[in-house]
Amino acid sequence: MLSEFQDTLLQSVKAYQSTELVKNKYENVLEHLDSGILLFDSEGELSFINVQMAKLLEIPRQSLIGCNLLQMLRHTHLTRFKKRKILRIYRETIFHRKKYHELIDEYGRHWLITVTYGDQMDGDYLLSVKDVSDYKRIEQTAYQNDKLAMLGKISAAIAHEIRNPLTAIRGFIQLLRPHLVQLGRDEYARIILTEIDRANDIIYEFLNSSKPSAPQKVVVSVSSLLKEVVLLTESEGLMKGCEINLRLPDEVMKISVDVKQIKQVLLNIIKNAMDAIEEVEGDHAGIIDIGAHLDGKFVNISIQDNGNGMDKALLAKLFDPFFTTKEKGTGLGLSVSYRIIKNHRGNISVDSMKGSGTVFLITLPLA
């Protein structure tokens, strides 16, 4: 009888140890996930927080265990920005019963918040936070490429539809020209033909700008390219009260690019920088800093201004075709620049804050 009891007790101890081993294994997995994890029990108290979530909150884990939401919000180490975000997450996921919520933090990173609760959780609430910034960038790039491809198709169709009647008008004016000469109105024919040719040139330029041709690449020095661009923009900068500074490293950096297209991109960004500086009210000394540095097998070209800057909503639409904040703008400049850089197997990004200026970063592969 005693031996049976001992066997049963031994089996129970082994089962407990096995259960604890599995529990510790799963806790270890949760501890080191790249997603932040919070687990609140049915009483609303925090029973588990992993390493990643503690890093995101920038608070020691042990000081949070056992806290409810209100106590967390009163924590002295929690920033005001994070408090606002936690309240918003609570409102969206718990109050409005949304199981998914997306937000952007103070550094511009995208986060996906998922809340799991219900019968399967026995009254507990599991909250996970994952950085989805890379996925958002990929999604935005695909979306941007789709829009630019559509723009190219629309442009080609418009150009074709307008060119056909212009060709017919030009032909009939040339047939009528001898009659206009007899009437002493040859000047009218000349003006009409000149304006038709101008309209054709505008269509051609629009078609080329909306759908850049394949780059005709040559190997050039980054330093000489940037010096030429500064030379072309210095006089306009002086007239608009902008100081253009060029800072180049000692290393020789060479890239294989279509010089005309890359100049178009750089000139467009610098022109936008001048316009942004003009928007600043009061006596404001405009500064545009242009620089380049090596980054592995790539060259990073930066253009920074101290202009008016942009908010996040404006940044999200910056490379959209036909999107412009200028009264006489076409909204094609930056969308075309985006396509040109992508055609060169490079990347273009922008960082800005309202009232604090803007930085464009162009990355191109070395030759």
Q: What is the tens place of the pLDDT at every residue in 6-16?
A: 566 566 655 55
Same domain, 338 and 230: yes
Q: Which residue segment(s) compose the domain that 178 sits in?
A: 136-210
Q: Report the pLDDT averaged over residues 323-330.
A: 67
pLDDT higher than 80, residue 58: yes
31-36, long-range: CB < 8 A, 24+ apart: 34/130, 34/131, 35/128, 35/129, 35/130, 36/128, 36/129, 36/130
Same domain, 198 and 222: no
pLDDT digits (tens, 9 = 90+) for 185-224: 888 888 888 888 877 766 765 666 555 667 889 999 999 9
The predicted pLDDT at position 362 comes to 95
pLDDT higher than 60, residue 132: yes
Would the pTM count as exceeding 0.75? no
pLDDT higher than 70, residue 300: yes
Count of domains forming the chain:
4
Q: Is 339 exposed, middle or buried (0-12, 13-18, 19+ CB in 10 A)?
A: buried
CATH number at residue 115: 3.30.450.20
Q: Which residue did the predictor score with more confidence, 54 or 146?
A: 54
Same domain, 263 and 330: yes
CATH number at residue 226: 3.30.565.10
The predicted pLDDT at position 327 comes to 65
The predicted pLDDT at position 278 comes to 86
Could you tell me which residues are beta bridge partners of residue 350? 360
Q: Report the pLDDT averaged over residues 119-142.
A: 80
The predicted pLDDT at position 98 comes to 81
Cα–Cα distances in angstroms (integers) from residue 32 to residues 49, 78, 190, in the given order: 11, 22, 78
Same domain, 360 and 314: yes
Same domain, 350 and 246: yes
Q: How confident is the model at residue 120 (pLDDT cuts 50, 70, 90)?
A: confident
Same domain, 243 and 126: no
Give the residue from 165, 181, 210 where a domain finishes. Answer: 210
Q: Report the pLDDT averaged over residues 84-107.
A: 81
- Copy the structure tokens of residue 314: 């404006």
Same domain, 353 and 237: yes
Same domain, 142 and 8: no
Whether the Cβ atoms of residue 321 and residue 331 lie closer than 8 Å to each other: yes
The predicted pLDDT at position 167 comes to 83
Highest mean pLDDT (candidates 235-244, 307-316, 330-339): 235-244
Cα 274 from Cα 167, distance rounded (Å): 39
Query: Considering the chain, what is the average pLDDT of its residues?
Result: 81
Nearest to 58 by CA among 86, 33, 39: 86
